[in-house]
Structure formats: structure tokens, C-alpha cells
Structure 1
Amino acid sequence: MASGSGSGSERWSEDLETEVAMAMGTTDVELLKRAWRNEKAAPEILQFEAALVLRAREQIQLLEETVEEFTENGVDDLVVSLYQMDLDRSLFLLRSYLRIRLQKIEKYMIHISKTNLWNRLSEQEQRFAKSRCTDIMEKHLEQSVLSRLPYGYQSILKQSISSEEDDMVPEPQLDTFVFCKTKHAVGAFQLDDTGDEIVDLVADDLYVLRYKSIRGLVESGRIDLV
């Protein structure tokens, strides 16, 4: 979600996604694995999966309580180990998903704060980016470096006062090639603005394409990164 609880339409969309996933037999673990793969492969930060993360945390807590109860009651070790494996897998996916997002925030924090990517962060991520990243870095650079530079070279955004753009701000490389797989048939899809590059996206086929060309398909959930 963009931040906090989000709008009613966003909550309705998330609820619908959950119902569709359940109808298709897709578990939250599989949805979390998909979100983790997409986040890991995408050069930019994606929309925070708020509802999915909340459900994953609730399921992890339930698994922890179940493992503890089974252990105390002397349930067969094999059964306990199976539940523990599910718990470890869920914990790994959730922690890795959140860690990858934090790494992107740290790397592109200024760019994210200046664009609509900011609305893709959770409230906790926004607080992290603001208080622990942007403010601390700006203060540190000002005290240790920028204050000692000549006039015109004291910006953390530009190389010099003559620069027209913020050429000191790292940005995600959207031209990066990524492996992707279509969930359903998309059909003829235009990869560039001129219409010279068109590819027929068939269901369950694997492709190697520039991320920026399929960015919209990733955001809409019509294609997965692998």
C-alpha cells in the first residue's frame, strides 16, 4: 500500500486479490515468494505488499505458537520438524523481502523521496527513510564535507551550482534487462514508444526484456520477474 492504511479502493483491490488467489489455490507463502522474487529482480522499489505482509506475520505467529505447543506436548518429532520447516521458510521469505526493500531505500533514498516512489513505501519504511537515512546522511555530509567546499559545490544533489539536474542522486537503472514470465497470455505488446519493437507475450513463457518496457505489466501483476 502507498502508506498507512491506504484508500478504500486500494483495500478493495487487495481483498479482491486475496479472494482470487484463494480461489486459484494460491497460498500466501506462494504470494510472498512471488513478491520477494519481483522485489529482488526489479531495479526500482515496488509497491509495498501491506495486506500480504500482515497475513504472513499472523501466520508466522500462529506457526510459532503451534511449534511451541507441539514441543511441550511431546508431539512426534517428525510432525514438529515439518511445522518448523514451514515456519523457517515463511520467516526467510518475509525477512528477505523486507531487507531487500530497505537496501533499495538506503541506496536510492533521495531519488525515492523526490518522486512518486515515496508512495510505494509503508509508513515504517517512510519513517526509516526520513529519520535514519536522509536526515542523518545530510547532516553527516554537511558537517564532514560540504561545509568545507567552495561556494557552488556544497549541494548533495548537484555537482555544482551550474548543473541543471540533480546529477549527484543515484537512480535505479530502468534499462536493465530482466528475466520475466507471463502469468496469462498478453498478446502483442509494444516494447518501445515508436512501435518498432513488438513481442507476442504467451502465457507461461520466459522472456528477457528491458525492465522499463514491462514496468506497467509488473505493477499490474500481469507478468512476474524471475
Structure 2
Amino acid sequence: MKVVVIGGTGLIGSKVVARLGEHGHEAVAAAPNTGVNTLTGEGLAEVLKDASVVVDVSNSPSFEDQAVMEFFSTSTTNLLKAETEAGVTHHVALSVVGTDRLQESGYFRAKQTQEELIKASGIPCSIVHATQFFEFIKGIADLSTDGDTVRLAPVKIQPIYSGDVAAAVGRTAVGAPLNGLVEVAGPEQFQLDELLRKALAAHNDPRTVVTDPHAPYSGAQVEETTLLPGPGAHIAETKLADWLAQQQ
């Protein structure tokens, strides 16, 4: 089976390509640095020739509202058109748990648009919703930093290791199209502000985490369970402490 992985040289994509290859599939990494650009359409027809499945784990280089909307709407439209012409029979996309509940955020509005385009395309599809990656915890802090202070709401979060996300995406890619969503999350729940205190301390980051019930998350107000998966989510195995130990 030929599987084309859009964003296949990035954090998740490179792991998906490796896992699919280990299981005997022809996994092709497609990204601007391999000559494939979904924003312009460059290289799409060539890379999709004889592909059965397309996995899209690409992300916008800019999180500014207009830029991120332009990225996901344009790249997804171009990709789906090329897939239709190539006869691709399964489109898999990686998105985020809680996307539909975070529509105050420009980033999550763009992700919602991506999902709606996929569902309307007529191509059999599967959308994998993952919770935030361990690797992005510092990024959450950066988005919430003012000076030396990180303001975070005391809401629950269930982060996941990127390797476990890649495994879930790979399993989904070689299975039958779901024509719906599957959720994947880490094995532990944390309170967001406490998680960031622990993670910053582990990296000797001097910033102070302040608990603020009104602090936004990526520009959106969040409630206690906004960032959590629902019942039936696939629960991965890697714990945060084990991942932190590996980093050190």
C-alpha cells in the first residue's frame, strides 16, 4: 500500500513514515523540502500517483489568525482536489481534541475549517483528534507568558507523547476509513497550571506560573473539561515522567 504523508518530515510525520515503513508499506514523506507544496500545488500530482492513502499531519508555519486560516483552507482544498484526480481512497488528517469547543481561537477555527472541507470532499476519511503533545508543553507556556509570568487557567489536560500520536495515525491509515473521528490521549490527567509548573521546573525554566481562572488557552476561554477527550478515546501508554526522564 502506498501512503503519502503530507508534513512527512516533521515531528509526527517522520514517525508515521518510519512506522508504516516498518510494517511493509510504501510510505512517502511529502513536504516543501521534498518538492511537494500543498499551498501552491507543486508536486502533488506526481507524489499522489498510485497512492491509496493520504495522511495529512502538516501544520501552518504561522499561527496568526489570517495566515493559519489561509494555510489550512488553501492547502486542504488543493490536496483534496489532487486526491480526487489521483483516485485516493482514504484521507487521514490529524487534528486536536476540543477543536469544536475552542472556536474563539483563530488556530482552532482554521482546524475546524480543515475538518469541514475533508468531510465535504466525498473522499472516505478518518480524522484523528489528539490531545496536546508533551513536546508542545513549553509552547503552551510561551503563548501564555507576559514578562516572567505564565498565566494559566486551572483546567484539566491529558497530554500525549508524539510517538503515541504517530502510532494512532499509522493504525488509522492502514485501517478502513472511519468517516468520522477517533480520539487519542495520554494516560494521565493534569491540572494545566500544575503541569506547566512541573514541566518548567524540569527544564530549569525560571518563569513563574500564576493560576488565573480567566486566562485564555490559545486565545480561547476554556472550562474544566474543554481540553479532555470524551468516552471511548484510545488511551496511550507513555507517561509524562518517563518522557521527561528520556529528555534529560
TM-score by length of 1: 0.27
Query: Which structure: greater helix fraction?
Result: 1
Structure number with bigger Rg: 1
Query: Which structure: greater strand fraction?
Result: 2
